[in-house]
Amino acid sequence: MAPQATPPNERLNNDKVKQILKKHLDETDYRIYKALNEDGRMSDTELGERVGLSRTAARRRRKNLEEKGLIDVLGVLVLQEADLAYADVFVTLNSDVDTETLEEFLEEIKHEELIYEIGEYMGQYDLLLRVWHASLSDINTFLRSLLQDHDAVGQYETIPVTKTHKAWHKTLSGGTE
């Protein structure tokens, strides 16, 4: 089956995005990313049809993006759709903490299943932890036990997320208001 032409609404029209991505992804690779972001379980045949490539070319490009570490097809729990509580936690590290204690702390929080994202920041805060739990009260208890008396943590601020409108290039619909 010959690859279909890429639908106009699937083309990358934002010049700013093109400029940012041009070093790592061409327009076809970006369309592959967007298609897999919508449905990571789609077959290479369907992926090729979506982006205007043969099945073989789509698979080759997808595998290349995975090998370079530019995409990772994984499952994501959409917390608001599951009616779970989640929050952003901004952490300031103790300025006098030694490197070993800091590395141990980072390893510890990397293995916490209730933390789904860890970002390192410059500025007022050092880390952003994105956490989830059954309720905001459970998040509070979890964070106190994890952070409050840890030598690496100077202070932290928790900001509950009430609704996510867009994540992973998807518009999200449900959740509590």
Same fold for the domain at 8-67 and the one at 85-167? no
How far is residue 44's CA from residue 48's CA, in Å, rounded to a whole number?
6
Gap between the Cα atoms of 103 and 48, Å rounded: 43
| Class of the CATH domain delimited by 8-67 | mainly alpha
Q: What is the pLDDT, as a whole number, of residue 174? A: 52
How would CATH label the architecture of 85-167? 2-Layer Sandwich (3.30)
Domain residue spans in the chain?
Answer: 8-67, 85-167
Report whether 132 contacts 79 (CB < 8 A). yes
Per-residue model confidence as pLDDT tens for the chain (177 residues): 444 444 434 455 677 777 777 777 888 998 898 888 888 889 999 999 999 999 999 999 999 999 988 888 776 667 777 888 999 999 999 999 999 999 999 999 999 999 999 999 998 999 999 999 999 999 999 999 999 999 999 999 999 998 878 776 667 665 433
Helix (H) or strand (E) holding 158: strand 153-161
Q: Which residues of 62-89 are buried (b: 16+ CB within 10 A; e: fewer)?
A: beebeeeeebeeeeeeebbeeebbbbeb
